[in-house]
Amino acid sequence: MLEVRKNIVPMIVLLMLLASAMAPLASGIYLGKRITMDIADNYLTEGGATAIIVAVKDSDGNPADLITVNIDATDGTFDVDSRVSNALGQVAFTYFAPSTVSGTLDDTITASATMGQDFETSGVIVVTSRMSVEVDGPRQLQTNGETVTYDVNVDSGGQPVSGAAVTVDIVGPGTLDEVGGATGGDGSTWFTFTPPSDTGETTFWVNATHSSHGTASATFRVLILEDLAPLVVSIEADRAPLPSWGSCNLTATVTRSGNPVEGAYIAWEVSKGWLERDAGNTDASGHLSVVYTAMGDEPGLWAGDVTVTANTTDGFEWAEAEEVIRIAPYATVFTPSIKMDATGGQLFDGERCEVDVSLTLEEGASWEFITPFDVHLVWMNTLGEELERRVLGEDLAVDGPFTWSSGWQYLFTVDEGTGVEGFLFDVLVLSTNGHHIYEQLEEPFDVSILSGLEDEWTFLIYLNGDNDLASYADNFLDWLESGAPENGEFTVYVQYDRCYGGSAFAPWSDTRRFELTRHEVNEELDSQLIEVVGELDSGSASTVYDFMMWGSKRSPAGHYCLLMWDHGGAFMGSSWDSTSLTHIDNSDLAEALDMFKSHRRKLDVLVLDMCRMSTVGNFYQFKDVVNYMAASETDILVDFVAPEFLLGIAEFWPDARPSPLHVVTQVLNAHWERVEEWGDDLYPFAAADLGKADALFANLDTLADALIEEWETVEGLVWEARMASTRIGGSGSRSRSNIDAVDYFSNLGDFLAGHPLSDQLHDAVSASEDVLSSLEDVVFYHLPVGDLQGSTIFFPNLKGSWDNQRYVYIVNGLPEDSGWTRLLDAFFLGLPGEEGDDPPFWPIEVHGFLDGPLQDVVGTASDTDGDGLVEGVDLPFNVDNINNTSPATVVFDMIVHDGSRAGTIDGLVDRRVVVVPAGESLQGTVTLTSPVVDLADVIVSVITGDGTVLQETHVGWYMMNATPREGTPPTLELSTLPSEVTEGEEVTLTALVDDAEGDELTVWWDVDDGDGVAIDVTGTSATTTTYRGARNRSAVCIVTDGHWFVVRRVDVTVLADADNHQPVANLTAAALDQADTLTVTF
C-alpha cells in the first residue's frame, strides 16, 4: 500500500498542472462548471488507490481559493473527508478501493462545495477483485511415468476470468509438453507434463495476465518418486460439536503404508478461531496435537463450520488433510467460583486498598475444556464508566478442577482529606481476544472512601424469633427499646424474623427491618419500620451477611458491632429457623463475616446472646474475621444484652467515642448491673480478644506435640484432667462433653507436674502453662460465676461420641490438623499408624464398657392434624451391649423450656428407661409426649450402674402439642440431714412422695451432678451420700406415677475438712537390675 501511495504523488502534480493550464485568462460572465473532478485511474483492483483532483471556480471562472471541498464514496474511503482549496482553486484527495469485492464494483465518487450556493460533481471508479490462480493435479508422480494433464483455474472474486493469458515455467526435472493457452469462459485452461527418469522435485510457475484484472501467479510442487507409497495425514477432533468459545484437541496423524511417520512437519490452518501453535513435528506415533478454541470475531455466541487444514511434509513428500468442525451456538460450561478479597470496602484516610482475586473450580463442578483465557480487574466509577483495567492472569486454562489466585494487588492509598468517593470493581474471565466473557462477578465490588466517619459506630441486631423463642424475642426487643440512642449518637438496626402467625407485639410471620427507637417498656413495638423483606431463612449465614451489608450501606461507620440473638449450641451451630428447618454452622458464619471484612470492614465486636457459644473452637472460627467476641460458656435462661449496654455506650457522646474494647466490656458490665438490680442469676458471660488467639492455637499445637511424644506416660493423665474439670451440663450439651477450658489445662498442668516422671515431661508441663497463659490472654474478662472461667473446650466422654461428632467438630470447631483435634484422635482412635490395633486407653472410671452401646437415634415427629404442633416423637433405638460386661441403662427424656431460653431437668415431662443386660442387644421404639404446648428437647442418655453417663445424644427440638394425662401429678418434698456437712461426711437425702390416685411411684436420684440426667439411685425415697470438695452441691429427685413427672432440687453446703491435705509423693530409686523390685511409698 505504501508503494501505491508513493506512485500517486506524481499523478497529483501532473493533474494540478493540467488544471491550472485550463484556467480562464480573463474575467467575465462564466457559464462553465463551478466544480470539476479528475480521477487519475478509473480502474482499480480491490485494495488499490488513486489520486483525485477537485477544482473549484468563482462566478467569474477564476480559481476559488479557501473553499472547503467535501468528498465521499459509495464504498471506498479517502485519506480525509474534506480539504480547503489552494490558490489554484484545487484540492487533492487519495481514494482507497474496498479491500475485498465480489466480481466488479462501480464506486460513485461525489465532491461538493458551497460558494453562495451548493455545487456538486461526481465520477465513477470501477473496482475489480484480484485474480487468483489454482493448479489441480497429482503432487506425486512415478519416474518414467505417463504424461499427466494439470488443470489451471483463474478467477476473480469467485467468478471465472475468461481470456486470461496463461504461461507455465518449470524448475526441476521433467518435460513441460504443452500449454492450453488463454482461459475459456469457465476460467480454465491446462498444461501437460511428462515425468523424468530420475527422482526429484519439480516446481511449476503458473502466471496469468488479464487486461482488466491484472496479473496473478501460483506455484505447484510435484515430487518424482520411484514408488508411489503416498504420505497420508488425517485429522481428528476430540469434541464434536464444539460450543462457541470452547476448546478441543486436534490431532494430526501421519502415516505411510499404514505405519506412523516420526518427525514429519505439519503446518496447521483454520478458517476461523484460535490455534495453540501453527506448526510442529510428529512424535514416534506419528501424532501431533494442537489445541483449537472456537474464538469468534465479535462478541456473542456463534455457529458454523470451521475448516481445519493440516499440511505435512517429509523430505520431498507432501500431503494435506481437511476436517470440518461444527461449532454449536451454545455457551461453554464453566462455573468457577470467583472471589474478590479486599483490605476493606469502606476505607479511611491513610488506609491501603489491596485486592486478591481467586478462581476456584471445585471437584464435581461443571466445566468444559477452555484455553486460553485471561482474568481482568476493571476499575470503574459509580456510573460504571471504566477508569482503569489491569490484567491479573494471562493464557490460563481450565482442564479440570483448579484453584488460581492473583495474589494481593496494591491499588491505591487513601490520601488525607479525600472526602467521600466511591468506586466499583469487576472481575472478568474472558477470551484472550477480549470478545467473550466466560464469567464475572455477580455484581461489582464497591469500595467507598468515607472521610470523617472513622470513629462512628453502627450496631446490627440479628433477632431470630422464627422458632419457639418468638415471644421471648418480642420481650427482648420491647426491653431493648428502652436503651435506644435518643440523640443520634449511633444507629441500631434490628432484623426481626418471626413465626407462628405473629403476636400483639409483632403481628407478622415474616422478616422486617427496623431502626431501634427509644421508648420505655410498654409491650408495643415502637421502633421505626424501615423495610418488610418477606420470609427469610434466619438459619442461613447468607441472611446474616445480607443484613450486615444492608445496614452498613445505610449507615456506614468506622466500627460495627453484630449482636445475634437465638439458640446456640457450641460447635453444633446457632440460629435455628423453624420455617426452613435450618441452622447456621459456625464455619458458614465465619465465611459470611470474612466476606463482610472484605466488602466493608473487619467486624469489631460479635455478641452472641445464645447458649454455649464461648468455646475455644469458636475462638478459632472467628479469630480472623472479628476483633472481640462476647458469649457464654453455659446455657443461659435470661437475655445477655441489657438496655444499659446501649445507654452506657451513648454516654461517650458528644466529646468522645468508645473503642471496641469499651463496647465489649460494656456488654458484660451492663448484664452484671441489671441482674444485680433484679436479683436474677448471673451467667458466665466472657469477653475474648480474638486478636490474641493465634498464640493460643500455636501453644495448643506445641502441647499436643509434647504429649503425643510421651503418649504412653500421659494418656491416663489427659483423661484424669478431664474428669477433674468442670463439665458443662444442660439440655443438648452432649453429656458434659464441653469442659471449662481454663479448669482443664490448669488440672492437666498440675497432673503433669505432679507425675513421678515430671522431669521427663518438662516440655509438656511448660506447654500446658503456655496454653493456660495464652487462654487467659484471649478470655481477658469474664463474669464471676462459680468455678467457670469463661470458655469451654470439647472433650467427649466416649469413643462412639467422637466417632459420631468428629466431622462436625473439625468443620465447625477446631480443624483436623490442630493440636487439640490431634490429641482427641490419639486418645479415641490411637496414634497415627495404630489404626486397627486393640482399642486405645479407655476411661478407667467406666468398668465393663469397651464402647458406647447406643447406635444413632433419629426422632420421627407425629403431627396428625397438621397444625404444626407435634403430638408425639417416636424414637427407634438399637442398643448393642454384646461386647460389654456391664448392663446399660438407656434414658429417653423430653424436657420443655417452660419460658426459658433453654431447657433444664426441671422441665422434664416424659421419661422412658430401658435396661439392656451385659452381653445382649435390644431394638425397639419408645414414644415421648408432652402435657403442655411448648418447645421440648429430646435427649437420649446411656448410664452405667454407678450413674456415669456414657453417651448422651440431643435428638432435636420439637414444638409439642398438649397430650392429656390421666389423674393428677404426685407430690414431692425433699429434705437433707444435715443440710451443711464437711467433705467426706455422710448426708441423708429424703423424699416425701404421695399420689392422690394411689398409683405406683418410681423415684430417681441424681445426687452428684445435679442435672438429673444421671441416675445414681433408683426406687427409694431416701438415700445417703458423701461429697468431696468444698462447694455447694445440688441433688435432684424425680418422681413419676407413669403419667406425670415431678422434679425437685435440694441444696447441700459442703465445707472444707481442715485436716484433709493433698498427699505428697516422695520417690527414690537406685539402679535396678531386671529382677529387682521397685517400691514406691506415699
For 288-298, write each residue's pLDDT tens digit: 999 999 999 88
* CA-based torsion, 962, 966, 968, 970: positive or negative: negative
Q: What percent of the chain has pLDDT over 70?
A: 91
623 pLDDT exceeds 70? yes
What confidence score (pLDDT) does residue 899 get? 64
Question: Which superfamily, per CATH, for 979-1054?
Answer: Immunoglobulins (2.60.40.10)
Name the more confident of 147 and 953.
Answer: 147
Residue 4 has pLDDT above 60, yes or no: no
* Diameter over CA atoms, the chain: 147
Compute the Cα dihedral for 862, 867, 868, 869 and give only its sign.
Answer: negative
Q: 231-331 adopts what CATH topology?
A: Immunoglobulin-like (2.60.40)
Residue 419 has pLDDT above 80, yes or no: no
* pLDDT recorded at residue 301: 92
Indicate whether 1014 pLDDT > 90.
no
Same fold, 2-128 and 337-450: yes
Q: pLDDT-based confidence at 229, cuts 50/70/90?
A: confident
pLDDT in tens, 441-456: 988 999 999 888 899 9
Does residue 611 or residue 27 have the better pLDDT?
A: 611
**Can you give the pLDDT at residue 316?**
61
pLDDT computed for residue 285 by the predictor = 95
Rounded mean pLDDT, 485-499: 94
Q: Give dist(CA 567, CA 575) in Å, integer.
A: 5
> What pLDDT does 805 receive?
84
**Is pLDDT of 925 > 60?**
yes
**Between 680 and 637, the higher pLDDT residue:** 637
Specify the higher pLDDT residue, 149 or 581: 149
Mean pLDDT of 930-959: 81
Report the pLDDT value the prediction gives residue 214, as an integer from 0 to 100: 82
Q: What is the pLDDT of residue 849?
A: 63
Given this model, what pLDDT does residue 1077 score? Answer: 41
Averaged pLDDT for residues 691-708: 96
540 — phi, psi (to 5°)? -120, 135
Average pLDDT over residues 775-784: 94
CA distance 497 to 510: 6
- Taking only the tens place, the pLDDT of each residue in 57-115 is 998 899 999 999 999 999 999 999 999 999 999 999 999 999 888 778 899 999 999 99
Q: How far apart are CA 850 and CA 847, in angstroms?
A: 8
Q: How confident is the model at residue 729 (pLDDT cuts 50, 70, 90)?
A: low
Rounded to the nearest 10 degrees, how much is the dihedral formed by the CA atoms of 782, 786, 792, 795?
170
- Output the average pLDDT for the chain: 87
Which parts of 490-585 fold into alpha helices (H)? 541-554
pLDDT for 898: 75
CA distance linking residue 591 with residue 812, whole number of Å: 11
Query: Options 3.40.50.300, 3.90.650.10, 2.60.40.1120, 3.40.50.11970; which CATH number does 457-683 get?
Result: 3.40.50.11970
Percent of the chain with pLDDT over 90: 58
Sequence-distant (≥ 6) Cβ neighbours of residue 293 within 8 angstroms: 245, 246, 247, 273, 274, 370, 371, 372, 431
State phi, psi for 10 to the nearest 5 degrees: -65, -30
What pLDDT was estimated at residue 617? 96
Residue 837 has pLDDT above 60, yes or no: no
Cα distances (angstroms) measured from residue 520 to each of 483, 517, 523, 602: 8, 10, 9, 33
Reported as a single tens digit per residue, the pLDDT across 26-55 is 445 788 899 999 999 998 888 889 999 999
> 640-657: per-residue pLDDT in tens?
888 999 999 999 999 999
Average pLDDT score over residue span 564-575: 92
* Beta carbons of 501 and 466 less than 8 angstroms apart: no
Lowest model confidence (mean pLDDT) among 24-28, 407-411, 686-690, 986-990: 24-28
pLDDT at 6 over 60: no
Q: Is 708 helix (H, G, I), strand (E, B) or coil?
A: helix
Query: H or E stretch including 16?
Result: helix 2-21
Angle between helices 762-778 and 693-709 (to 10 degrees): 160
Q: Of the ranges 268-277, 902-911, 1073-1082, which is most confident?
A: 268-277
Question: Is residue 914 within a helix (H) or strand (E), and if so which, with residue range?
Answer: strand 908-916
pLDDT at 1074: 42
Which pLDDT belongs to residue 848?
A: 57
In this model, does residue 1081 exceed pLDDT 70? no
Residue 9 pLDDT? 44
pLDDT at 2 over 60: no
**Res. 1064 pLDDT band, cuts 50 70 90:** very low
User: What are the structural domain ranges in the chain?
Assistant: 2-128, 131-225, 231-331, 337-450, 457-683, 692-829, 860-960, 979-1054
Q: Which pLDDT does position 7 carry in this prediction?
A: 47
| pLDDT of amino acid 82 | 94
Q: Label residue 852 by pLDDT band (50, 70, 90).
A: low
pLDDT confidence tier of residue 168, bands split at 50, 70 and 90? very high
pLDDT band of residue 763 (cuts 50, 70, 90) is very high
Name the band, by pLDDT with cuts 50, 70 and 90, for residue 24: very low
**Which CATH number describes the domain made up of 337-450?**
2.60.40.2550
CATH superfamily of 860-960: Immunoglobulins (2.60.40.10)
Indicate the pLDDT class of residue 968, thresholds 50, 70 and 90: very high
Tell me which amino acid residue 683 is.
Y
Question: Is residue 595 scored above 90 in pLDDT?
Answer: yes
Please report how many Cα atoms fall inside a 13 Å half-sphere around the Cα of residue 876, on the Cβ side.
3
List beta partners, residue 870.
Answer: 960
Query: In angstroms, rounded to a whole number, what is the distance separating the alpha carbons of residues 628 and 634?
Result: 19
pLDDT on residue 581: 86
Chain mean position to CA 1032: 50
Q: Answer with the residue of higher pLDDT: 1075 or 1052.
A: 1052
pLDDT in tens, 545-563: 999 999 999 999 999 999 9
pLDDT given at position 578 = 86
Neighbours of 562 (CB within 10 A): 24
The secondary structure of residue 1015, as a DSSP letter, is -
Residues 254, 130: Cα–Cα separation, whole Å:
35
Q: Which superfamily, per CATH, for 2-128?
A: Immunoglobulins (2.60.40.10)
The whole-number average pLDDT for the span 420-428 is: 90
Does the structure show a pLDDT above 70 at 25? no
What confidence tens digit (pLDDT) does each residue in 368-407 have?
899 899 999 999 998 989 999 999 999 999 888 989 999 9
Q: What is the CATH number of domain 131-225?
A: 2.60.40.10
Is residue 1070 pLDDT above 60, yes or no?
no
For helices 693-709 and 819-829, the axis angle rounded to 10 degrees is 30
Question: What pLDDT score was predicted for residue 751?
Answer: 93
